[in-house]
Amino acid sequence: MDLGRVSRHGEAEWWVEPYGAMRVPAVLYASEPLMREMDEKVYEQACNVASLPGIVKASYAMPDAHWGYGFPIGGVAAFDEEEGVISAGGVGFDISCGVRLLETPLTREQVEPLKEALADALYHEVPVGMGSTGRVHLDDAQMDAMLAGGARWAVEQGFGTWGDLPRIEEGGCMAGARPEFVSRRARQRQADEMGTLGSGNHYLEVQHVAHVEDARLAEAYGLREGQVVVSIHCGSRGLGHQIGTEYLREMLLEAARQGLKLPERELACAPIRSEVGREYLGAMRAGINCALANRQIITHLVRQVFARVAGVSELGLLFDVSHNTCKREEHEVDGKRRGLFVHRKGATRAFGPGHPELPPGLREVGQPVLIGGSMGTASYVLAGTEESETRAFSSSAHGAGRSHSRHDALRHWRGRDVVESLARRGILIRSPSMRGVAEEAPGAYKDVVEVVDAAEVAGLSHKVARLEPLACIKG
């Protein structure tokens, strides 16, 4: 990236002061190497977001930011609840794509002899890949109940336990969902996709805690070195994509009716208080519930596999956090608490210690922040910080972030070579698509260590533990 207009404000903080149509600064959190490698489009998109009506304080980009649709992936922006706008491009197509972490009582030494059997059983039990379908079929009434109830609905159907819900954002159910604003086509796409991973960067990964960075917080989170854990990364599947596609069209029309000047079509938006804005909020919240229910069903399937293969079914849920959402939250701005609609696209909520929305056991230490690596590289558990509230509305990075497009990755890597290379390192890959593996090659992503270190230096989140993969089920 050309740093001509960018001024450095800290070791991992860079500002673009308002110019042209910008209403607020654009603030990018990254180390110098990450900044220099960052796509020029991230800078452009962050500045474009800073021009939208009702934006508050700044347009932010996280250390893993890369080019997205409208907003950069890794973008955070908050809008005044009365005068602001909502943008489907600021949420993303995979509504409530997120990560949850399950903790097992097993050690790496205990799991190594079972690794092949676990990988095969998980691949067989949890449907994966483009257009994959599961064993749960929803009729219209069940679809409405799921879209309104989220993970709570899933638990009522026998998937998981009531004890899981406090460890999920929103207690497992996003209030304000309006299933009636979810189209017939979106419902059709989701009817057979519950309990499935999907494709792209989604995964189910068996990992071990390779290193504890903060012993006090690791103990509070129930993590210890050598422990085996399971990460689940997926979202709202076809339903979320359909909602995003349809409402982007509606928002483009609404922006014209409202006389909003958009820096580009991909930033289509609508006033939060408009009819289109309210309808999208209702449909998007239903999409969040779909994703929460989906990850809850997969959790149940993972527990069944571990019970059958390893004789252990007690896999506790550390936390489930989404990274493609827009939520109404209260934040301090210029010394006053204000209601804001916070868009996080490829960015993770990171509430610090004492936040009232965190459950007992986590409120004292801060929210777990789950940053996934790329296939074959480390993932991290971090903790939200008090400082993050003033840095970026309590937000942090969500993953390594792409450094190569999928098309570019296909020119650099072959899927079979990636699988064999990881196998030599003791990491098993199960996937229905070698093309998909090539697109998701570890080298197609930024250095996750650099991203995590930048998030810590910037005060967005604090490192707790490093996780390394043993087996990965990939879309």
Set 66, 208, 398, 462: catalytic member:
398
- 398 catalytic residue (yes or no): yes
Q: What is the 3-state secondary structure (H, E, C) of the chain?
A: CCCCCCEEEECCEEEECCCCCCCCCEEEECCHHHHHHCCHHHHHHHHHHCCCCCEEEEEEEEEEEECCCCCCEEEEEEEECCCCEECHHHCCCCCCCEEEEEEEEEEHHHHHHHHHHHHHHHHHHCCCCCCCCCCECCCHHHHHHHHHHHHHHHHHCCCCCHHHHHHEHHHHCCCCCCHHHCCHHHHHHHCCCECCCCCCCCEEEEEEEEEECCHHHHHHHCCCCCEEEEEEEECCHHHHHHHHHHHHHHHHHHHHHHCCCCCCHHHCCEECCCHHHHHHHHHHHHHHHHHHHHHHHHHHHHHHHHHHHHCCCCCEEEEEEECEEEEEEEEEECCEEEEEEEEEECEEECCCCCCCCCCCCCCCCCCEEEEECCCCCCEEEEEECCHHHHHHCCEEECECCECCCHHHHHHHCCHHHHHHHHHHCCCEEECCCHHHHHHCCHHHECCHHHHHHHHHHCCCEEEEEEEEEEEEEEC
Residues tagged active-site: 398
